Amino acid sequence: MDCFLKASNIIEKYKKPVCSISGGKDSDIMLDIITKVDTQHKVMYVWLDTGIEYQATKNHLEYLKQKYNIKIHIEKAVKPIPVACKEYGYPFVSKHISEMMYRLQKHNFQWEDEPFESLIVKYPKCKSALKWWTNQKGNMQGKISRFDIAYNKYLKEFIITNPPNFRISNKCCEYAKKKASHLYSQLNNCDLDIVGIRKAEGGARAGSYKNCFTNNTEDISHYRPLFWFTNEDKKVYDRLFNVVHSDCYNLYGLKRTGCVGCPFGRDLENEIEVMKKYEPKLAKAANNIFKESYEYTKKYRQFAAYMKANKGGDSIAKND
């Protein structure tokens, strides 16, 4: 009830709210909430087509349109994922790591294991990324920050031993989703952006917010109806309101659906096998796009597993 009341009160205050639909579980619950409280039918719905999507997701969108009697606008990516990857680089491990490595590569960084004071002299215009590389983001007590490279065990050792021979970047997300969403809001004069971010899902995106509502930033306010929902809350909501999810979950058995085949995925190996079984053409496309990143990610995970099993290893060279 608290969720419904909050959603109703916020939506009532705005003239042109837009709700971003993904076809995922969180998105399904958010849509169910919004359609229940949007009595004036003023909320617009948009789906961002990244350029590589599950057919099951597209089918689910058709189901949602019929179930709720709504229109879902399809907004094309400013630059589809395949194009953005080719132009800027490929995702690796996480958005933050990819952004830091992208900045370092722009300055022709040689992946040196030197202190920050030495590196900043060589690369004076790369301060933030060098702080990440040298673990300068933690507090004064020596605590490792999630914005330090040490937060991902053995990543620095791996990169030093196996420098990437391809460009790394997180720009695919920026051009396929962020910029596309912002463009749609601008063109339609939207004053409220509604998204399905949850605090419990973790990650940099959820961690950047403190509550469910942000008032008027860049001429638009932001509302996150599911921000305080736990995984158990989602299960209860599904049972109470008979929410039906995509075949990506019910048939394919995926736990999450983000960008198809994205190397950021924790369950990447399983997702690739699922694609091969249910959507083989999509699996082939994903492999063509992310092949170098898949291989590098696999190599890193094997390296980290070896180092952990051998308590850090006698030497990095031994693994190489």
Q: Is the pLDDT of residue 153 over 90?
A: yes
% of the chain beyond a pLDDT of 70: 93
Q: Candidates 3.40.50.620, 3.40.1790.10, 3.30.70.260, 3.40.50.150; correct CATH number of 2-82+173-250?
A: 3.40.50.620
- The domain limits of the chain are 2-82+173-250, 93-163
Contacts of 18 (CB under 8 A, 6+ apart): 43, 44, 45, 46, 184, 185, 188, 190, 192, 193, 194
Q: Which of 127-141, 174-188, 248-262, 283-297 has the lowest mean pLDDT?
A: 127-141
The pLDDT tens digits of the residues spanning 54-110 come to 999 999 999 999 999 999 999 999 999 999 999 999 999 999 999 999 999 999 999
pLDDT, greater one: 202 or 235:
235
Average pLDDT taken over every residue of the chain: 90
Q: Is the pLDDT of residue 170 over 50?
A: yes
Strand partners, 20: 46
Q: Is the pLDDT of residue 206 over 60?
A: no
Give residue 202's pLDDT: 65
The pLDDT tens digits of the residues spanning 3-37 come to 999 999 999 999 999 999 999 999 999 999 999 99
- Rounded to whole angstroms, the Cα distance separating 125 from 159 reads 21
Rounded to an integer, the average pLDDT of 207-213 is 77
DSSP letter, residue 178: I
Give residue 87's pLDDT: 95
Rounded to an integer, the average pLDDT of 217-224 is 84
